[in-house]
A and B are shown apart, each in its own frame.
Chain A
C-alpha cells in the first residue's frame, strides 16, 4: 500500500450525499463509512432530509399558477393609463407569463393570447414529464429494483390495479416511479430510459372523465409528444421528446400490455 489517499473530510461526506463526488472517491468514502458508524448515521440522516424535502416540495412545482398571482396581475393590467409606462410593461410581461401558466411554459411557440384554464389529461402528463425527467439524482421516488413494492404502493394509492409495463422489447428499461398529485386524486408516473439516456414517462390516473381522454390519440405539447387513452376509469398517457412514429411504437407496446 504505497499510494496515499487523502483522509476523508466533512466536505467529502456532503459531496457523497449530494452526488458531487467522483467514482474513485465514492469508494473511499464508502470504505470510511463502513468503519465509522457515527458518521454513517449522520450521512443517513442528511440523506433522509434531502428526500423528505423533495417529497414535501416537489408537488409545488406541479401546481397550477395560483389565483393570487393572477389577481395581482389582473389588478396591474386593469390599472388606469396614468400608471407609468414601465410598470405597465412589467405587468404585461407577468400577465404574459401567468396566462400561459404552467401550460404555457411547455407550449413553446404557441401564441399566449388565450388563457388555458384547466390542463387536460394529456397536458398534465406532459407537465409531469417536463418537471421530472431532467432530475439527475432523483428522477423517481421508488426505483425499479423495488418494482414489486412500487407497483403495489401505487396501486394502493390510486385504488386501482396499476401495472408497470415492460418496454425492454422496444429498448426501454424501467427506472422507477413516483406518486403525484392529480386534479382528481393521486396520479402515478413511471419513468423509463433507453441506452442513450432518453427518458419516457407513463402517467396513470384514475377517475379520468370521458371529456379528458377516450380513444387512443396523439397530442404535441411543445417539445413533448403524448399518446393518451382511457381504459375504463383509468387514463394512460405516454410522454416523450421523440418523433411521433417512434413514440407510437412504444405506445403500442404499452397499450397491448394494459388492455385486457
Chain B
C-alpha cells in the first residue's frame, strides 16, 4: 500500500506540468491533478505492479479530463479559451517571450484531441505506443493527430492560413 502511495506521489510534478499545458488555467489544472490523484487512489487495486505507473496516471488524467469537458459542456459553464489571459509559467527573454506567447496561444486553439497528442509526445516525451494506450486510440490515429496538430501549430505561429482541423477517429 505504501508503495503505491509513493509511486503516485512521484508522478505529481509531471501531472501538474501536463495539466497546466493542457488546460492552461492554473486553478483548473490543479483541479484536474487533484481529481486524478483521487481517482488513482480509488482504482489502485487495478494497477499492476509490472506496468508503468506514469502511463497509468496519464490514462486516468485523460479520462478525468474528458469527463470534465463533457460536464462543463452540458452545463455550458465552460469559458472560451480565447478570452483567457495567456499566462506563461516562466519568465523568458523578450524574443523568446513573444514566440512563447504565440505558441501558447496556438496550443490553446488546438482541438483537445490534437492538443493531448502534441503535448504527451512533445512535452511529456511518451512513446507513440504509450500515447495510443493512454488515449485508447490506434497508433495510426496518434500519428495522424501528431502530424496535423504540429502543422496547425506551425501555421498558427507563422500566420499562414490553415484549414480547420476535423476530428479523426
Contact A46 B150 (CB under 8 A): yes
Any B CB within 8 A of the CB of A40: no
Q: How many residues of chain B get a CB closer than 8 Å to chain A's CBs?
A: 49
Contact A14 B146 (CB under 8 A): yes
Any B CB within 8 A of the CB of A35: no
Contact B17 A58 (CB under 8 A): yes
Contact A46 B30 (CB under 8 A): no
Any A CB within 8 A of the CB of B61: no
Q: Render B22-56 as a binary contact track against A, CB cut-off 8 A, 1 for contact.
A: 00001100100110011001100000000000000
Q: How many residues of chain A get a CB closer than 8 Å to chain B's CBs?
A: 45
Q: Given A57-B89, A69-B30, A97-B8, does the pair A18, B17 have CB atoms closer than 8 Å?
A: no
Any A CB within 8 A of the CB of B71: no
Tell me the interface secondary structure of chain B in the complex.
helix
- Chain A minimum-CB-distance residue to B88: A56
| A94 to B: closest C-beta gap in Å | 6
Chain B residues lying within 8 Å of A59, measured Cβ to Cβ, are 89-90
Q: Render B120-153 as a binary contact track against A, CB cut-off 8 A, 1 for contact.
A: 0111010110000000000000010011001101
Chain A residues lying within 8 Å of B5, measured Cβ to Cβ, are 93, 96-97
Q: Given A10-B147, A94-B37, does the pair A18, B121 have CB atoms closer than 8 Å?
A: yes
| A16 to B: closest C-beta gap in Å | 12
| A131 to B: closest C-beta gap in Å | 6
Task: Tell me the bound Cα distance from A59 to B92 in angstroms.
Answer: 12
- Chain B minimum-CB-distance residue to A86: B42
Any A CB within 8 A of the CB of B96: yes
Chain A residues lying within 8 Å of B88, measured Cβ to Cβ, are 56
Stretch at the interface among A26-34, A100-108, A167-175, A197-205: A100-108
Contact A90 B103 (CB under 8 A): no
Any A CB within 8 A of the CB of B60: no
Any A CB within 8 A of the CB of B13: yes
Chain B residues lying within 8 Å of A96, measured Cβ to Cβ, are 5
Any B CB within 8 A of the CB of A8: no
Among B14, B17, B127, B128, which residue has the most Cβ atoms of chain A within 10 A?
B17
Tally of contacts, chain A with chain B, CB under 8 A: 121
Contact A53 B119 (CB under 8 A): yes
Contact B20 A60 (CB under 8 A): yes
Q: Render A62-83 as a binary contact track against B, CB cut-off 8 A, 1 for contact.
A: 1101101100100000000000
Chain B residues 72 to 98 lying within 8 A of chain A, measured CB to CB, are 88-90, 92, 96
- Chain A minimum-CB-distance residue to B21: A57
Q: Given A60-B20, A62-B13, does the pair A53, B37 have CB atoms closer than 8 Å?
A: no
- Chain A minimum-CB-distance residue to B2: A109
Task: Tell me the bound Cα distance from A65 to B19 in angstroms.
Answer: 13
Any A CB within 8 A of the CB of B64: no
Q: Given A14-B147, A56-B88, A135-B125, does the pair A69, B34 have CB atoms closer than 8 Å?
A: yes
Any A CB within 8 A of the CB of B6: yes
Chain A residues lying within 8 Å of B109, measured Cβ to Cβ, are none
Any B CB within 8 A of the CB of A152: no
- Chain A minimum-CB-distance residue to B27: A68
| A123 to B: closest C-beta gap in Å | 14
Chain A residues lying within 8 Å of B127, measured Cβ to Cβ, are 20
A-B contact pairs, 7 of them (CB 8 A): A53-B103, A53-B119, A53-B123, A55-B100, A61-B17, A90-B41, A135-B125
Q: Closest 8 CB pairs between A and B?
A: A61-B13, A105-B9, A50-B122, A61-B17, A59-B90, A60-B17, A60-B20, A53-B123
